[in-house]
Amino acid sequence: MIPGAFEYHRPETLGEATGLLSQLGDSARVLAGGHSLIPMMKLRMAAPEHLIDLAAIADLRGIAVGDDIRIGAMVTQAELIAHDGLAAACPLLREAALQIADPQVRYVGTVGGNVANGDPGNDMPGLMQCLGARYSLAGPGGTREVAARDFYISAYETARADDEILTGILVPHPAPGTGYAYEKQKRKIGDYATAAAAVTIGRNGASVAMTNLADRPIWSEAAGKALAAGDAAGAVAAALAEIDPGDDNRGPAEFKRHVAGVMLRRAIDRARARMG
Amino acid sequence: MAKMHVKMTVNGTQVEALAEPRTLLIHFLREELGITGPHIGCETSHCGACTVDVDGRSVKSCTMFVGQANGASVTTVEGLVNPDGSLGVLQEMFREHHGLQCGFCTPGMITRAHRLLQENPNPSEEEVRFGMSGNLCRCTGYQNIVKAIMAAAAVLRGEKEAAE
C-alpha cells in the first residue's frame, strides 16, 4: 500500500508552520503522529500534495501542570501516560490513554492529533469534553481558544479553520476528591470503542461524555446534572437519549445502545467508589 | 516529486540515501537498505510484524514516513545480536522456549520485547501481555512468547543463566 506522492515539510517554528499552511491551502495537511492520516493516505482516501510535519516544533511539546494543565499538541499518548505529575493532577487522562490503541501506536500517536482529527472513534475528544478542556488554535490571524464541548460539529468536521493548527490542550484541575472513570468496550486491543463513557463526579458537579456513539463525541449536560443529584439511572437514561449510534461491523445500533448503558453505569459506579 | 535526502543510524551504522517522501520506513529498511528482519504483515498498523525501535520508541514502521525517522537512531531485530554475531538474550530465549512457530511475527515480537524490557526490567506476566498487545502471532503461540520474554528478563537481570 503506497500512498500518493507529496512534498514533505518540516518547519521548526509554529509561525513557519502556519505560514506554510496558509500559503499551500487545501493541498496541505499537517502531520502529527500520522497514525490516523498515514493509514488514510495508504488507502488513498487522503492524498495531500504537501505534508507539514509538526515534529520539530518545540513549542508543541511538553506537559505543564500549573494553574491549568497544559498538554502540548505533539505530546504522545506514551508521554502522557508516563508523566507522573499529570497522573497525580488528573488521573483520568492516564486511565483513558492506556485504553487507546496499542503500545506502538501510543509511542507515536499524539494527543493533539487525537483531539483535532474529529474522528468520532477517537477517545480523547469525549474525555476532554468530560473534563471541560479548552483547545488552543493558532492561525494567520493569531491565536484563540475553543472549548472541547463546542469543537466537534460532525465526523471530521470541527471548529478548527483549515488554516489553523491546534497547538495545545488546557485542562482545568479537577476539584480535590473528584471521582473519575473511563470505561471502554472494544472487540480487541487496538480497536475503536464499540461504546465508551467518561465520568467525573466531584464537589463541583458531575460530567458525562460518550465516545463513538454518534458522528461526534456526546457530552450530556442532562446526564451530568442527574448524576450530580445522585440519580445514576436518570444519568444513564439522559445520556442514552442523546447518543445516535449507527449500524456497522461493531454491531447494530441497538446493541451499541445497550453496551453504552453498561459502560456508563460501570463508569458511574467506579467514579463514585473513587470519590474522596 | 523530488526525492529527499535521508540520514539515519540503523543498527549502529550511519546510512544516507535519497528517498521519495512517500516512502514508508519499512520499505526504506527492506528495499533501500536490504534489512529484511522487519516484516510487512498487515500494512494497516495492526499486526506489529514491522516493529522497529526509533529513538527508544517501538514503532510500526509501516505507519511512519521515512522523513519522520530522518536523523533518528533505528534498531531492527538484526541489531539485537551480541557483538560477536551470536544470538542476543531475547533471541536466544525465544529459541529456547519455542517462542516462535512459523517465525513471521518474531522480529517484531523481539524488537518490541527489547523496548519493553528496557523500560521495565522486571515485568509481571500481565505487564508483558499488555506491553506486547500491539503484536499479533497468527500461529497463536502467545504462551511461549510470554515465557520467552519472562525468561529473557530474568537472564538480563542476572538471575538466571541461559542454557547452552
* CATH code of the domain covering residue B18: 3.10.20.30
How large is the ipTM? Answer: 0.96
Residue pLDDT, tens place only, B104-158: 999 999 999 999 999 999 999 999 999 999 999 999 999 999 999 999 999 999 9
Distance of residue A242 Cα from the nearest chain B Cα, in angstroms = 32
Estimate the crossing angle of helix A221-228 against helix A232-242, to 10 degrees: 180
* CATH code of the domain covering residue B124: 1.10.150.120
Same fold, A58-172 and A182-273: no
Q: Of B45, B78, B111, which closes a domain?
A: B78
Q: Which of B22, B24, B58 sits opposite A103 (nearest CB)?
A: B58
Q: Of B18, B45, B78, which closes a domain?
A: B78
Residue pLDDT, tens place only, A104-119: 999 999 999 999 999 9
Cell matching residue A54 = 509538526
B74 is in which domain, residue-wise? Answer: 4-78
Residue B73 lies in a domain: yes
Residue among B28, B76, B34 nearest B51 (CA):
B76
Sign of torsion, CA A206 A210 A214 A216? positive
Residue pLDDT, tens place only, A228-269: 999 999 999 999 999 999 999 999 999 999 999 999 999 999
pLDDT of residue A203: 87
pLDDT of residue B162: 65
pLDDT of residue A161: 96
- Residue B72, classed as helix, strand or coil, is coil
Same domain, B86 and B57: no
| Measured distance CA(A189)–CA(B47) in Å, rounded | 11
Look at A35 and B2 and tell me if their CB atoms are within 8 Å: no
Same domain, B66 and B97: no
| Contact list, A35 vs chain B (CB under 8 Å) | 45, 63
| Contact list, A2 vs chain B (CB under 8 Å) | 22, 24, 27
Looking at domain A7-53, its CATH architecture is: 2-Layer Sandwich (3.30)
- The residue-averaged pLDDT of B2-7 equals 96
Distance of residue A127 Cα from the nearest chain B Cα, in angstroms = 22
Same domain, B51 and B84: no
Residue among A21, A46, A34 nearest B66 (CA):
A34
- pLDDT grade, residue A1 (50/70/90)? confident
Look at A39 and B63 and tell me if their CB atoms are within 8 Å: yes
Cell matching residue A216 = 461526534
Q: Which of A7, A53, A104 sits opposite B134 (nearest CB)?
A: A104
Q: Which of B58, B68, B116 sits opposite A53 (nearest CB)?
A: B68
pLDDT of residue B163: 60
- Tell me which of A141 and B25 has the higher pLDDT: B25
Distance of residue A222 Cα from the nearest chain B Cα, in angstroms = 36
Residue B117: partners with Cβ closer than 8 Å, 6 or more residues away? B90, B123, B149, B152, B153, B156
Query: How large a percentage of chain B has pLDDT more than 70?
Result: 98
Tell me the CATH number for domain A58-172.
3.30.465.10
Look at A105 and B134 and tell me if their CB atoms are within 8 Å: yes
Maximum pairwise Cα distance, chain A: 56
User: Domain tally for chain B?
Assistant: 2
Residue pLDDT, tens place only, A2-17: 999 999 999 999 999 9
Residue pLDDT, tens place only, B50-68: 999 999 999 999 999 999 9
CB pairs under 8 A between A and B: 86
CATH class of A182-273: alpha beta
Distance of residue B55 Cα from the nearest chain A Cα, in angstroms = 11
Strand ranges (E), chain A: 7-9, 28-31, 50-53, 63-65, 68-72, 134-139, 142-147, 152-154, 157-158, 165-172, 179-185, 195-202, 205-211, 218-219
Residue of A104, A186, A192 best to disrupt the B interface, most CBs of B under 10 A: A104
Look at A104 and B46 and tell me if their CB atoms are within 8 Å: no
Residue B68 lies in a domain: yes
Same domain, B98 and B118: yes
* pLDDT value at B161 more than 90: no
Residue identified by cell 508523566 is: A83
**Total count of residues recorded for chain B:** 164
Look at A55 and B43 and tell me if their CB atoms are within 8 Å: no
Query: How large a percentage of chain B has pLDDT more than 90?
Result: 96
Q: Mean pLDDT in chain B?
A: 96
What element of type H or E holds A221? helix A221-228
Domain boundaries along the sequence of chain A: 7-53, 58-172, 182-273
pLDDT of residue A204: 83
Q: Which of A3, A103, A190 sits opposite B22 (nearest CB)?
A: A3
Residue B161 lies in a domain: no
- pLDDT grade, residue A72 (50/70/90)? very high
| Contact list, B57 vs chain A (CB under 8 Å) | 78, 107-108
Same domain, B70 and B89: no
Residue identified by cell 491565536 is: A143
Same domain, B130 and B71: no
Residue B43 lies in a domain: yes
| Measured distance CA(A18)–CA(A136) in Å, rounded | 14
Q: Of B78, B110, B141, which closes a domain?
A: B78
Residue among B26, B18, B25, B24 nearest B1 (CA):
B18
Q: Which of A5, A10, A107 sits opposite B22 (nearest CB)?
A: A5
Residue B8 lies in a domain: yes
Distance of residue B163 Cα from the nearest chain A Cα, in angstroms = 31
Residue among B76, B62, B57 nearest B10 (CA):
B76
Q: Mean pLDDT in chain A?
A: 97
Same domain, B69 and B103: no
Residue pLDDT, tens place only, A19-58: 999 999 999 999 999 999 999 999 999 999 999 999 999 9
| Strands ordered across the beta sheet of A205-211 | A179-185, A195-202, A205-211, A218-219
Look at B134 and A189 and tell me if their CB atoms are within 8 Å: yes
Distance of residue A103 Cα from the nearest chain B Cα, in angstroms = 6
Look at B59 and A107 and tell me if their CB atoms are within 8 Å: yes
Sign of torsion, CA A181 A185 A188 A190? negative
Same domain, B14 and B65: yes
Q: Which of A51, A53, A102 sits opposite B134 (nearest CB)?
A: A102
Q: Which of B45, B67, B130 sits opposite A105 (nearest CB)?
A: B45
